[in-house]
Amino acid sequence: MAQIKGTDLFVKALKEEGVDILFGYPGGQAIDLFDSLYGQDDIEVILPRHEQALVHAADGYARSTGKVGVCLVTSGPGATNLVTGIATANYDSVPLVCFTGQVPMNLIGNDAFQEVDIVGITRSICKHCITVRSREDLGRIIKEAFFIARNGKPGPVLVDIPKDIQQALGSDEYPSEANIRSYKPSTKVHEGQLKKAVNVLNNAKHPVFLIGGGVNISRANQAMTRLAELTRVPVITTIMGKGAIPSDHPLYVGNIGIHGNYASNTAISECDVLFSIGTRFNDRITGKISEFAKNATIIHIDIDTASISRNIVVDIPIVADAGNAIDKMLEYARPLPTEDWLERIQGWKDKYPLGMDQRYPGLNPEKVIAKINELFPDAIVTTDVGQNQLWTTQYLSMTGKRQLLTSGGLGTMGYGLPAAIGAQLGNPDQRVIAISGDGGMQMNIQEMATAMCQELPLILCVLNNSWLGNVRQWQEMFFDKRYSSTCLRYRKGCMKDCLNPEKCCPPYTPDFIKLAESYGAQGIRVETAEDIEAAFQAAKNETKRPTLIEFIIDPEANVSPMVPTGKPLNEMVLEC
């Protein structure tokens, strides 16, 4: 049996796991690992400019390809910078394996230079995390890490490798399979329970499907579309479930939740059977819990037992992967006479459609996103968090090969640009567009350099209202316009109690166009609706560098409609 270094087994393991891209940032305790990656062609090593962006990039890669995203960073600050990205991936069930270098075993606990207990820090935000304490465990632990990340409910796994373990000689064998006695995710569907659920559905008068991210994660979109068409049951999605069926499909109602549309929230409130798949009934979608779908029999399919009957008590629980369950349902389901119900829902849609144009004529986010729908129907779209995310989930069409990557659970600003980098690297033949606000874009702006160096033709849309707009909207609605720390034009000389966005304000900083150009990217500022198309066409012509398009939008544009905190879903404020 050949003896090889831990670092060489690490590289061998990655190759056997089919890793083609690794997102890495070197440092003292990871230098040996990077040395073993040097000069080989099978795994491309991408160097983002900050470890937080590095995890988001791996996350974007994983979400858009369905493969495991792999990160490699050094100990101490390299490891702690992963925290936000790991939590982001954990909340949205993204399979990642994050390797961290660690100080040698004999220094652990000594407060050595760049030593942190990263396993202790990330324990509550990882699916699994472990320090390798013996060279002979290294292969097994890496094998188990990939198994845990991708099986059951996917999630991030952290493997911490002390430097002496990296350097130690040991077996060159990498296990062919993982057998973990404490982790045996179920792959079966309980047919009896599923038949019972379908039977309830078949007898419903006003049924709806409520679809969450689970359907997208198990790549069951086409099966879900067939199921909707077979049953004639309308489909409502969460933000994470958007795209479960095409958004131009006649059975698609829209998003549920505090910024969902009127028809979806009303339909949920009035349905008699709520058939939910792959959602955990997060508080952003339920509104006031006691009023949520209160007349409905609730069926809940989820891969995670702990997500069932946690926020909402359900009548028929089914633990299963969304894709497997939908495939099985296709065997039992039958068409339902939902014509009248669909007509009522259409009535609600017609009565209160989404739309910004009347209230905010001229350049507005709806127009920008409509142009993306028109010119880039197959593009992968990422968002940041805040109004930009909400507008995107309202107006983006999910058709063709479109995927929407957004931080739905943790709500992480700064996600959009690095996630777009990961998505583009994983999908070189598709366009990738990031939609950000001016706040979020500045949280990982340094990744313009990564996009340039990797020659990625990303289209980065910055919806610049010069505010942290979502918080400003809340301050306007619920805090008497006390705009505390949300104005990004604020300068030292400004009045502390300024109530007048954009009245004699200091200039915005930074100048996004000059900034883009300083990275070597194309920068275009758009100030009127007429210029949207030309900017996108100019971006479309670029094949080897990103284009940043800054859209100057109304600083007081709000996201409507909205369910105020603590209110039931059917008590929406229609115009915020």
Partner 1 sequence: MKKRWISLFVENEVGMLAKISGLFSGKSYNLQSLTVGETEDPTVSRMTIGLISDDITFEQIKKQLNRSVGIIKVIDFTDTPIHMKEILFVKVKGCNKSDREEVFRIAQVFGIQVTDYGKNSILLESTQTEARNNDIINLLDQDFSGRIEVVRGGSVAVEAISMQDR
* Residue whose pair of structure tokens reads 């150009």 in the numeric block: 517
- From the CB of 303, what's the least distance to partner 1, in Å? 10
Max distance between CA atoms of the chain, in angstroms, equals: 75
Q: Pick from 124, 290, 358, 543: which binds partner 1 (CB under 8 A)?
A: 124
Residues 101-139, buried b or exposed e (16+ Cβ, 10 A)? bbbbbebbeeebebbbebbebbeebbbbbbbbeebeebb
Question: Among residues 148 and 433, whose Cβ is nearest to partner 1?
Answer: 148
For residue 304, the number of C-alpha atoms closer than 13 Å in the C-beta half-sphere is 18
Q: Pick from 183, 360, 490, 508: which binds partner 1 (CB under 8 A)?
A: 183
Q: What is the torsional sign of CA 466, 469, 472, 477?
A: positive
Question: Among residues 181 and 492, whose Cβ is nearest to partner 1?
Answer: 181
Contact 137, 170 (CB under 8 A): no
Q: Pick from 50, 56, 63, 127: which binds partner 1 (CB under 8 A)?
A: 127
Contact 298, 310 (CB under 8 A): no
- What are the backbone dihedrals phi and psi of residue 162, each rounded to the nearest 5 degrees, phi first? -60, 150
Residues 365-382, buried b or exposed e (16+ Cβ, 10 A)? bbbbbbbbbebbeebbbb
- Does 574 bind partner 1 (CB under 8 A)? Our answer is no
Q: Pick from 7, 64, 131, 406: which binds partner 1 (CB under 8 A)?
A: 131
Residues numbered 409 to 448 that lie near partner 1 (CB under 8 A) are none
Question: Among residues 308 and 557, whose Cβ is nearest to partner 1?
Answer: 308
Question: Among residues 305 and 509, whose Cβ is nearest to partner 1?
Answer: 305
| Angle (CA) 341 344 345, round 5° | 90
Nearest residue to 318 via CA among 308, 328, 327 = 308
Q: Pick from 5, 56, 63, 128: which binds partner 1 (CB under 8 A)?
A: 128
Collapsing DSSP states into helix, strand and coil, what is residue 341? helix
- From the CB of 301, what's the least distance to partner 1, in Å? 15
Question: Among residues 124 and 485, whose Cβ is nearest to partner 1?
Answer: 124
Question: Among residues 24 and 152, whose Cβ is nearest to partner 1?
Answer: 152
- Does 172 bind partner 1 (CB under 8 A)? Our answer is no
Q: Pick from 2, 38, 176, 181: which binds partner 1 (CB under 8 A)?
A: 181
| Angle (CA) 534 430 66, round 5° | 140
Give the C-alpha separation, 296 to 293, whole Å. 5
Give the C-alpha separation, 165 to 103, whole Å. 10
Output DSSP code: residue 206: S
- Does 121 bind partner 1 (CB under 8 A)? Our answer is no
Collapsing DSSP states into helix, strand and coil, what is residue 434? strand
- Does 120 bind partner 1 (CB under 8 A)? Our answer is yes
Task: Determine the interface stretch with partner 1 among 147-155, 247-255, 289-297, 396-404 (rule: CB under 8 A).
Answer: 147-155
- Does 182 bind partner 1 (CB under 8 A)? Our answer is yes
Give the C-alpha separation, 47 to 384, whole Å. 21
Q: Pick from 31, 43, 130, 375: which binds partner 1 (CB under 8 A)?
A: 130
Question: Among residues 127 and 143, whose Cβ is nearest to partner 1?
Answer: 127
Question: Among residues 108 and 342, whose Cβ is nearest to partner 1?
Answer: 108
* Residue whose pair of structure tokens reads 């500045």 in the numeric block: 442
- From the CB of 93, what's the least distance to partner 1, in Å? 12
- From the CB of 151, what's the least distance to partner 1, in Å? 11
Residues numbered 279 to 318 that lie near partner 1 (CB under 8 A) are 304-306, 308-310, 313
Binding residues for partner 1, total number by CB under 8 A: 23
Q: What is the DSSP string of 116-163?
A: --HHHHHGGGSSEEEE--SGGGHHHHHHHHHHHHHSSS--EEEEEEEH
- From the CB of 310, what's the least distance to partner 1, in Å? 6
- Does 349 bind partner 1 (CB under 8 A)? Our answer is no
Q: Pick from 12, 15, 67, 133: which binds partner 1 (CB under 8 A)?
A: 133
Task: Determine the interface stretch with partner 1 among 5-13, 123-131, 338-346, 487-495 (rule: CB under 8 A).
Answer: 123-131
Q: Pick from 180, 289, 471, 529: which binds partner 1 (CB under 8 A)?
A: 180
| Angle (CA) 35 33 110, round 5° | 125
- From the CB of 351, what's the least distance to partner 1, in Å? 37
- From the CB of 102, what's the least distance to partner 1, in Å? 13
Interface residue list for partner 1 (CB under 8 A)? 119-120, 123-124, 127-128, 130-131, 133, 148, 152-153, 180-183, 304-306, 308-310, 313
